Amino acid sequence: MAVSQALSYLTVLLDIRAVLVGLIVFLVVSWMVHGYLNQVKNLPPGPRSWPLVGCLPHFLYMKIKNKSNMHEMIETLYKQYGPVCYLSLPFGTKIVMVSGYKAVNESLTCPGLGEDRPPFPQDANPDELANGLGVLMSSGEMWKEHRRFSLTVLRGFGVGKRSFENQITTECGYLITEIEFGQGQPFEPTLLFSNAVSNVICSVVFGKRFEYDDPEFKLLLHWIEGLQDQDNLASVIFLLSPTLAPYLFRIPFFPKGPMASFLNIRRKVQNIVDEHRSTFDKDNMRDYIDAYLSEMQRKNEQGVQTYLSDVELRAVVQDFFFAGTETTSTTLRWALLYMMKFPDVQKRVHEEIDSVVGRNRLPRLSDKPDLPYTQAVIHEIQRYASIVAIILPRYAKHETEFLEFTIPKGSMLQTNMSSATHDASVWEEPDAFKPERFLDDKGQVVEPSHNIVFGAGKRACLGKQLARMELYIFYTHLMHRFSFKKAKDAESLNTQPKQGGVLAPYPYNICAIAR
């Protein structure tokens, strides 16, 4: 009896093992057949791809052996495989990593590669982090309609025009007053700069500015900072397969990364939209939200097909709030850090501003042509810091010939922008801070075509003009009023970036000495 039971158990065990082996063989053969039938000739080079898991083991090996962050891993791939690298990942995800100025610029302007975002799952919840909505992550007609509408509205409110100068100057005045309260004592500028820069876009989108001590405003900025503090696993998921994120984030105990901050901001934005809807007056357009509600109402009443909707409004407003706060405020933090790091540059900027503007008034936009070195310094700060090192992914809707390679249909393109702004083939001494590279032989400012810090092609930064105006006004006003020095008890200046959604400096203390 015992022998019979043992044989029975052994038979069951062998059956289970046979099923498992058969399943593995089936999956491997299916993967090989699928790969053969869908083989694309002339693929870009890349790490070896394994059955089912693709080249994921390669990334894990790099991470464990070298303890590299994602940006370092991408630079390693660039050095090893060249400007176009193909990565096969689990779940059929295909990634094409583009690096170096030539490849980056051509990919951003290529008709088959430069316009679309990866499609998101149809059942993706609009309240999840990556959902294909808004201006940043949408594609096709939805993106085109929102981009056209947004540009029209922003121009209508004066954004990017000289008439908007007073609005930025006023906010800069509040910032300078806050700094003066410190009387030259060390302070950490992150929250203060975020307050000031965010208020500029808030005045356009929300129709108001916030006081710097407003607790709700502080909370909003805290959540924005939380979006940048991505844990490693979440960062890898978003970088390599954003369309997979909605599913993985539903798994209990899976690291959520920036999810909590994102949802908190979204709820706050929804409350602001609801307040606008309850006080909406079509004869009194206060801001972008009112303009959106008015246009959506008009098109619906006329039966015009439109992608404008309540869900889209919330997503677009959130895009503006985040993009209009983080990039410019982070650039200003780098600017002051570099002024401490390169005191000779700071001294020359002071001398030029004093010579052109004098000490009795603040710089204006009309002074800009007469401040070539100052303009060159701003350009160099943006190039040198390269805060948006990896831009949002794009998507190959069709098989596309690119450079000497074939990009498979359905590939996601990840663009290594920092490699373009530090490419030795177009930038002399790219790792040196040299504002003079933006000056010609006559000392006049020039901006070479390979300076693509705002991107290129149809998806170039929508807020480029506003960002440039803000950077010029905030930077020149701060330099006119203060000299920036390292705190006496501070450690040596750290110019290595902190990894996150943007490459920001690590927190530092600075002394603003009134001039």
Let me know if residue 223 belongs to a domain.
yes
Let me know if residue 368 belongs to a domain.
yes
For the chain, what is the domain count? 1
pLDDT of residue 24: 61
Let me know if residue 206 belongs to a domain.
yes
Let me know if residue 29 belongs to a domain.
no
Are residues 55 and 48 in contact, defined by beta-carbon separation less than 8 angstroms?
yes
Give the pTM.
0.88
pLDDT tier, 249 (very low <50, low <70, confident <90, very high otherwise): low
Report the CATH number that the domain containing residue 446 is assigned in CATH. 1.10.630.10
Are residues 78 and 70 in contact, defined by beta-carbon separation less than 8 angstroms?
no
Identify which has the larger pLDDT, 266 or 429. Answer: 429
The strand pair at 412-415 and 94-98 is best described as parallel
Identify which has the larger pLDDT, 513 or 69. Answer: 513
Least confident of 76-80, 265-269, 454-458, 482-486: 265-269
Instruction: State the Cα–Cα distance between residues 446 and 375, nearest whole angstrom.
Output: 9
Digit-coded pLDDT (tens) for 230-242: 544 555 555 555 5
Query: Per-residue pLDDT for 499 more than 70?
Result: yes
Let me know if residue 7 belongs to a domain.
no
Digit-coded pLDDT (tens) for 158-199: 887 777 899 999 999 999 999 999 888 999 999 999 999 999
Domain extent at residue 300: 40-514
Determine what percent of the chain is predicted with pLDDT higher than 70: 82
Average model confidence (pLDDT) across the chain: 84
Q: How far apart are the first and last CA of the chain?
A: 99
Strand partners, 483: 513
What's the rounded mean pLDDT across residues 44-54? 84
pLDDT of residue 38: 46
pLDDT tier, 52 (very low <50, low <70, confident <90, very high otherwise): confident
Let me know if residue 147 belongs to a domain.
yes
pLDDT of residue 379: 97
Let me know if residue 49 belongs to a domain.
yes
The set of residues, in sequence order, having a beta carbon less than 8 Å from that of 325 and lying 6+ positions away, is: 194, 197, 198, 201, 221, 224
Least confident of 123-127, 256-260, 325-329, 477-481: 123-127
Q: Which residues of 118-144 are buried (b: 16+ CB within 10 A; e: fewer)?
A: bebeeebeeebbbbbbbbbbbbeebbe
Let me know if residue 399 belongs to a domain.
yes
